[in-house]
Amino acid sequence: MSVDFSSRWARAEIDSSAITHNAATLRALVAPSRVWAVVKANGYGHGSVEVAQAALAGGADGLCVALVDEGVVLRRAGITAPVLLLSEQPHDQAPLIVGYGLTPTVTTTMGAAAIGSAGAQQGRAVPVHLKVDTGMHRVGVSPREALHLARYIDSHEGLDLEGLYTHFAVADDPEHPANAAQAGLFDDVVSALRADGISPRIVHAANSAAALAAPARRLDMVRVGIALYGLQPGPGVAHLCADLRPAMRLVARVSAVRWIEEGEAVSYGLRRPVDKRSLIATVPIGYADGVPRSLWSTGAGALVGGVARPFAGTITMDQLMLDCGDDSSVAPGDEVVLIGSQGTERITADDWARALGTIGYEIVCGIAPRIARRHL
């Protein structure tokens, strides 16, 4: 099947309707809790603006990003929904955060003071979310210091303690005892604040895995990232992902074919001699585009003509080769599917992740910017 490519012979096709479907599915699952869509890292490689728009169309109430610049991109695209920054940002960015109407996370008195000062200068109280480190040990105020910081925020004229939250370290393993331990610590913090007369309007803890597997932890809202893109948060919750649809399809086309004889090999190192005369298809996409170099040795491959074709040798920076055996029908211009469906066959980012001993997050986030995204 010939494919029309307007520029280079490789691209990522993003199914926006899948994002909308996944957001609506998750919203129905967790109701009455609200859904905030995590669109950091350029929407996990899918395109942050387009993903945000599709998620909001599916019923998401807000968005989450990692960096100020990511929030600014959304605002400049005309998106007005709440945008939560998922960690405390450099304090000198406080005026930018407040000016663009982003919702900051605060975890220190200095960070809260910087936001509060910027808010006071603009004549308003800035909604902030206080993050508590209950065991992830990445970012967050310790549980024993949370009340002190909450009091400071509550007393500052430039701050409004809108949210309180934490993050689970092993939610993708629902039976892990750390989940209950973290939940208990967080519940204690919530109770301590309320006993002191401080009641944040939005209390949240659940990421994708917890939103799927732990109804009791959905609270006021859930932060859904990987599930929004139709991928599994982890093997422990894979059975709960059946209604989600992968949104990314990584496709290319055959640029050249050649026959090699029995015993010959291709690519750097000539590592995989063929055991019979074979047709080799060259595909102009490589590890600089996000196809991991080590994938060649896992038995993985790509789809051509609805048939799985193994990698013929080492994946190079800009190109890879497929072993098509004795199939002489493969020709330049044929569609190559690296991630996605073709005919009755399917390869997912999770398949790559399992082969490489990593997670689907890394695969989709690793699709390089030089691969154009086409939103369908």
DSSP readout, 235-287?
A: GGGGGG-TT----EEEEEE--EEEEE-TT---STT-----SS-EEEEEES--G
State the DSSP code for 334: B
Confidence of residue 8 (pLDDT cuts 50, 70, 90): confident
C-alpha distance from residue 300 to each of 10, 291, 341 (Å): 18, 11, 15
Q: Identify whether 361 is a catalytic site residue.
A: no
Residue among 40, 44, 165, 361 flagged as catalytic: 40
Task: Confirm if 189 and 165 have CB atoms less than 8 A apart.
Answer: no
Q: What percent of the chain is predicted at pLDDT more than 90?
A: 97
Q: Report d(CA 338, CA 301) in Å as an integer.
A: 7
What pLDDT shows up at residue 95? 96
Residue among 304, 261, 263, 298 at smallest CA distance from 281 = 304
How many of the other CB atoms lie within 10 Å of CB of 41? 18
- The mean predicted confidence, pLDDT, of the chain is 96
Q: What is the pLDDT of residues 180-194, one digit of tens each?
A: 999 999 999 999 999
Which whole number is the average pLDDT over 351-373?
95
Q: Report d(CA 240, CA 215) in Å as an integer.
A: 12
Residue among 170, 150, 175 at smallest CA distance from 160 = 150
Q: Report d(CA 132, CA 137) in Å as an integer.
A: 10
Q: Identify whether 40 is a catalytic site residue.
A: yes
More confident residue, 122 or 54: 54
Confidence of residue 1 (pLDDT cuts 50, 70, 90): very low
Q: What is the pLDDT of residues 195-230, one digit of tens each?
A: 999 999 999 999 999 999 999 999 999 999 999 999
Q: Report d(CA 347, CA 302) in Å as an integer.
A: 8
Structure tokens at 108: 């220190």
- For residues 200, 202, 204, 208, the Cα torsion angle rounded to the nearest 10 degrees is -170
Residue among 100, 165, 268, 276 flagged as catalytic: 268
Whether 3 has a pLDDT exceeding 60, the answer reads: no
Q: What is the pTM of this model?
A: 0.93
Which whole number is the average pLDDT over 114-121?
95
What pLDDT shows up at residue 275? 95
Residue among 277, 283, 279 at smallest CA distance from 302 = 283
* Residue 137 backbone zone (phi > 0: left; psi -120 to 50: alpha; other: beta): left
Q: What is the pLDDT of residues 284-327, one digit of tens each?
A: 999 999 999 999 999 999 999 999 999 999 999 999 999 999 99
The type of residue at 172 is D
Domains assigned to the chain: 16-231 (3.20.20.10), 248-347 (2.40.37.10)
Task: Confirm if 82 and 204 have CB atoms less than 8 A apart.
Answer: no
C-alpha distance from residue 28 to each of 22, 24, 142, 213, 288 (Å): 10, 6, 33, 14, 39
